[in-house]
Chains A and B, each alone.
Chain A
Amino acid sequence: MSSKTSSVAWTEFKSNPISIIGLTLVCFCIGLALLADFITPYPAHVGPIGDFTAINQAPSAAHWFGTDTIGRDLLTRIIYGFRLSLIMAVMVLSISMPVGVVLGLLAGYLGGWVEFVLMRLTDIFLAIPPLVLAMAIMGFLPATLTNAMLAVTVMWWPWYTRLVYNVVRSEAREGYVLAAEVIGASPLHTMFREILPNCVPAILTKLTLDVGFVVLMVSSLSFLGLGVQPPTPDLGSMVADGAKYMPDAWWLSIFPALAIMVLVLGFNLLGDGLREAFDAEV
């Protein structure tokens, strides 16, 4: 993509209020996550020990979002939950995206049996609803944070393979690819230097949307008790635990639930903005 088109995309991005709201939300969440150690009111409450003199308190000036059953400040735990969710999303995507992209490039560019095997494999993965596949993988592994990330990573790459494959299939007929081949560029050069840069807008857009969806998936797993285990502050398990104390301690599940909503919404709006700016098919 030339610098000119990216500046056009940027102008379009800036003029779209949706993108700006999304960007603001995303920056807000990332900022909270990065500065968690400094801005949370009770950083010690991230572990298993709370303040036993202040259990199950409703939201107040001292505890904006209330406290949980062992007196831990909910706001603190939610901010650390943001951090955990974002770290997990980054880990999952930093493995599944490159793997998926490379496989998509290979399938689209090489064709033949490579294409056949990879794309059928992709079909098989995509034929199982993601959550169910991740749950099944968790069924064979102990429920830990690392395994939850592993399970989500294993089911996430096919989406990138299919995305890149589709872009490559449409790009491969473009003149510049033929030109590169005619002047004798190696397949590797053509794939990574000629074709890949043209997939970047689509990948970037999907990546942004996916941060939200990975957060959604991981929190769903831990909501079912198949992911992160206590006392690690995870938004999904906080909702599940809090639901036991409804309606009296409603804040225990409602605030973490809203936190997930805000986080996913931010990345979704940002991704939508990027999609419109790049005019990318995702």
Chain B
Amino acid sequence: MNPVLRLLLQRLAISLLVLVGVSILIFFVARVVPGDPARIALGPNASQAAVDAMREARHLNDPLIIQYGWFVRDLAQGDLGTSLYTRRPVTTDIAAYLPATLELVFVAGAMMILLGLPLGRLAARYAKRGPDHAARFAAVVAVCTPAFVWGVILQLLLAYIWPIFPLEGRLSNGVDAPPGITGFYTLDSLMAGQFATFFDALYHLILPATALALSGIGQSARLTRSSMIETYRKPFIEMSRAYGFREDRISRRYAFRPALIPTLTILGLDFAAMLANAFLVERVFVWPGLSRYGVEVILRKDLDAIVGVVLVIAAMFLVTNLIVDLIVSIINPRIRLAERRAKS
């Protein structure tokens, strides 16, 4: 079998196991907390009869293990239960809110890759000189600052004091959302040929995506820098220089590609962390994404919805890592060509 395929299948199997683990974990945490979930859900004013009816309907009187069985059966049918807050299926709610979050995360992820990697590459090329020190310090500051702090600062500077960018939301007032196909306003508006909407959506994305991306940019620049510096010490770079390869080409290609391999795996984790940080940024920019829904259901103790949101995020986290594994195995010929890998 093709080694890349084999590796992917292996990882997929492990990811599925982990996902099952996550579902057990979150399911049991949701059930062992003190208090009757039905009572919490219905509030102190509901009648005992209503609470009992709900306990019956939700199988809350069964032993935990049986309850988990029901949960898995529903999950297998794509049913995550019903939100008490919106009174709609949790899957419907998530499908409605997720695209806005994903659009934000993808743009921020692209910024992290497109700005962080070249910055790290340049810092490594000028290691221990002025530009490097400046870049390193900026990177540490970026990494140490929570996304919501960036959000607040960027908003104050670029939306209030110098109103270059819109304050909040996905579109300006009076601009209609494009026909929903992907739920990404930028893609949908392009596909519908509504260019004005496209630019408006993009314009609204810039500040929140930057706030979300900054710590990732810092982190990826740091990682790329240290990996590049390590690669520069390798004999094959000495060889490239002895054979007159241009320094620029070494920096962009012959040192960059080997240096990227260890960096990418960790970048996958950073990208996944953005899924969580999006919650903070969405709050600052009143972004109608999963965060608004997530925080709302958490404050309302909406158990099914909470479990659903966590499962979806964990699944996306695992998918991200799978994709990163795939990319790494493609650029690393040792994995692509190896019949078997020594280390999993």
Contacts and interface: CB of A to CB of B under 8 A. Distances in A.
Contact between A and B in the complex (any CB pair below 8 Å): yes
A220 B317 contact: no
29 contacts: A120-B18, A120-B21, A121-B21, A124-B18, A125-B25, A127-B314, A128-B310, A129-B276, A130-B276, A133-B310, A135-B295, A136-B26, A219-B146, A220-B146, A220-B280, A225-B295, A225-B299, A226-B298, A226-B299, A239-B149, A243-B152, A253-B152, A257-B149, A258-B149, A260-B145, A261-B149, A264-B144, A265-B141, A265-B145
Contact of A254 (B144, B153, B277): B153
Interface of A: 120-121, 123-125, 127-133, 135-141, 143, 212, 216, 219-220, 223-226, 236, 239-240, 242-243, 246-247, 250, 253-254, 257-258, 260-261, 264-265, 268-269, 272
A25 to B, nearest CB: 11
B313 A124 contact: no
B140 A265 contact: yes
B109 to A, nearest CB: 14
A17 B148 CA distance: 29
Given A129-B272, A239-B149, A224 B279 contact: yes
Nearest to A213: B144
Contacts of B146: 216, 219-220, 223, 260, 264
B325 to A, nearest CB: 14
In this complex, the member of B155, B279, B294, B302 whose beta carbon has the largest number of chain A beta carbons within 10 angstroms is: B279
B297 A224 contact: no
Per DSSP, chain A at the interface is helix
Given A132-B310, A220-B148, A265-B141, A139 B297 contact: yes
A141 B33 contact: yes
A260 to B, nearest CB: 6
A66 to B, nearest CB: 14
Contacts of A127: 18-19, 21-22, 314, 317-318
Contacts of B100: none
B298 to A, nearest CB: 4
B136 to A, nearest CB: 9
Contact of A135 (B19, B141, B298): B298
B156 interface: yes
Interface in B119-162: 140-141, 143-146, 148-149, 152-153, 155-156, 160-161
Given A239-B149, A250-B156, A135 B144 contact: no
Nearest to B290: A132
A269 B144 CA distance: 9
In this complex, the member of A128, A226, A268 whose beta carbon has the largest number of chain B beta carbons within 10 angstroms is: A128
Interface string B156-181: 10001100000000000000000000
A268 B161 CA distance: 31
A261 B214 CA distance: 13
Contact of B301 (A139, A224, A236): A139
Nearest to B272: A129
Nearest to A130: B276
B283 interface: yes
A260 B149 contact: yes
B27 to A, nearest CB: 11
A124 B279 contact: no
